[in-house]
Structure formats: C-alpha cells, structure tokens
Amino acid sequence: MLRISVIDDSEKDIRLAVEGWLTGPWVEELRSQSDAALSQRKALTLDLARLWFVDANGVTLLRELAGKRVAHENCSAFISEQLKETKL
C-alpha cells in the first residue's frame, strides 16, 4: 500500500509525501502523480521519510525522477543505498 499526499503546493513548488511500500501498481501511481506535477512546470520534491520499501521498478522510477531534477528528502539510509547506481 502506498499513500501519496500533497504537503505543499505553491506557484513554483509542489511537495509530495510518499508513505508505505513503493511496489507493483503503486509505482505507476507515483509516476502519474509526479508527471502531473511536472507538467505544471513546478519544482517537485518527494518527502520519503515514511517510505519503508521500494522494489526494483520503484527504484528505477525514483532514479528517473531524480534525472528530471525531482528532489528526494528525508530518505532513509536503506533506501538511499538502493537508489545509488551500481557502476561496474
């Protein structure tokens, strides 16, 4: 289960709280909500303080969003390690 809540929505910025498990169909839900925020040409920040688990597709999405300059804040050490790209 995943909960996505708007923490702050101003003219220039939007902050979303992402809570729970970013797995399965919830990955596409976060993609949809993020794309909607980005389409408004607002800076997007994801508060990940209560994100407990991310599957491989969720990691891929969070990396893609970071590439679009979406900020992650309050990320646990466990999830931070998952988000680091492995370089061979």
- pLDDT, one tens digit per residue, over 67-86 is 999 999 999 998 998 888 65
User: Within a domain: residue 57?
Assistant: yes
Lookup: tokens for 35: 């794309």
Quote the number of domains for the chain: 1
How many contiguous H segments (helices) and E segments (strands) does the chain have?
Answer: 3, 5
**pLDDT value, residue 84:** 84
Q: Are 59 and 33 in contact (CB under 8 A)?
A: no
Which CATH number fits the domain that encloses residue 51? 3.30.750.24
Q: Which domain holds residue 19?
A: 2-83
Give ∠ CA 36-41-47 in degrees, rounded to 5.
65
Read off the pLDDT of residues 12-47 as tens digits, 9 standing for 90 and up: 999 999 999 999 999 999 999 999 999 999 999 999
How far apart CA 47 and CA 55 sit, in angstroms, is 18
Q: What is the mean pLDDT of the chain?
A: 92
Residue 56, domain member (yes or no): yes
Report the pLDDT value the prediction gives residue 31, as an integer from 0 to 100: 97
Q: Is residue 43, in this structure, part of any structural domain at all?
A: yes
Is residue 15 assigned to a domain?
yes
What pTM does this model have?
0.90
